[in-house]
Structure 1
Amino acid sequence: MNLLLEKTDKIRLIQEGSKLPYDLLLLADETIEAIDKYIHDSEIYIYEREGETLGVYALQMFDGESIEIKNIAVSKTCQGEGIGQRMLLNAMEQAKDRGFKYILIGTSNAAFRQLYIYQKVGFEIYEVKKDFYTKNYSQELIENGLPLNHMLVLRKQLND
């Protein structure tokens, strides 16, 4: 898989006050209310091809040495093309260039594909937030046929 951007592809920071791509953000988070809890304190990057937004990720400062990817999503029609990995690598570059030591990302206990991709680019499981989904969402959430219970937080050291 070629992880270089195609000639017509670009990843860019969207300006504050721009329309947010909720259709894509909702692929990685369950509700607009959940997204709104973090999105306005985050930097939003979009992946574009020929003017069409195909992906999005949100970065938020976690603490003085860590930054967190709060949301990362790729249009269903473009999944499997390497766009997610390109955005992950871009997020890691952004964090490293700004002097952060670690980058974090959280996902559910049932997000097999995401867990594979995150570990493939060097993230390691760092923390388990027990019962995160059952405590924070009123309805039961299902992914890959399994109930979402725990959030797995993965971390990657950036100064290797």
Structure 2
Amino acid sequence: MDNIDEIHIRQIREDERVPMALLRIADPSEQQICSYLAKSDCYVAEMDGEIIGVCVAGETSRDAIEIYNIAVTEGHQGKGLGKHLLMDAVERYAQSGWKSIEIGTGNSSIGQLALYQKCGFRIDGIIHNFFVDNYEDHIYENGIWCRDMIRLKRAL
């Protein structure tokens, strides 16, 4: 990101609406988004008062936190903001005493798989047919049918 210092990451306020359109960039199902929003923290990245990124994470066990959604507006993609949001979450939850952080993505999400591994996450498992069983419409990315969820984990 050209001016990463100009990015401010903050938790969304209770009186503030979540940026649903932004969340739908990473997850096309509003029903799925609402299911994890109810049990999660939502952080937004702002620049010049405009929300340009979002990260939603919640507890999955006594020691683990999961990033359920991380998304960047199209005009700011490919500039390091996703990595900045991801590493902010890693640092925040490590400082809060969590032992590990997890994230899942589609088998077709080639760029995300590369980013997560560059940020220290390792493939921890596969949930076969996750997107087939949990999403009404077929999802295609990079010309690949997104069927399976690749699970990644990083020790904190």
2:130 corresponds to which of 129, 132, 137: 132
The CA distance in 1 between the partners of 2:7 and 2:121, in whole Å, is 25
Structure 2 counterparts to residues 4-19 of structure 1, below 5 A:
5-6=4-5, 8-19=6-17
Aligned partner of residue 63 in structure 1, secondary structure: coil
Amino acid at match of 1:48: E
Say whether 1:117 aligns with 2:115. Answer: yes
State the SS of the aligned residue for 1:37.
Answer: helix
TM superposition outliers: structure 1 runs of 4+ over 6 Å: none
Instruction: Tell me the TM-score normalized by structure 1.
Output: 0.93
**1:1-160 to 2 correspondences below 5 Å:** 5-6=4-5, 8-158=6-156
User: Do the aligned partners of 2:29 and 2:135 also contact (CA within 8 Å) in 1?
Assistant: no
Question: Shift of the alpha carbon at 1:72?
Answer: 0.0
1:94: how far off?
1.3
> Shift in Å at residue 16 of structure 1?
2.3
Paired residue type of 2:76: C
Distance 2:140 2:78 in 1: 22
Fraction of identical pairs, as percent: 37
Instruction: Give the unaligned 5+ runs of structure 2.
Output: none
Counterpart code for 1:59: A
- List gaps (5 residues or longer) in structure 1: none
Cα deviation, 1:2-55, whole Å, max 9, x if unaligned, reads: 7x832x320001122421101110000012111111112110000000100000
Distance 1:65 1:21 in 2: 28
Aligned residues: 156
Amino acid in the other structure paired with 1:5: I
Instruction: Give the superposition deviation at 1:156.
Output: 0.4
Partner of 2:105, secondary structure, is strand
Once residues 14 and 64 of structure 2 are traced to their aligned partners in structure 1, the CA distance between those partners, rounded to angstroms, is 22
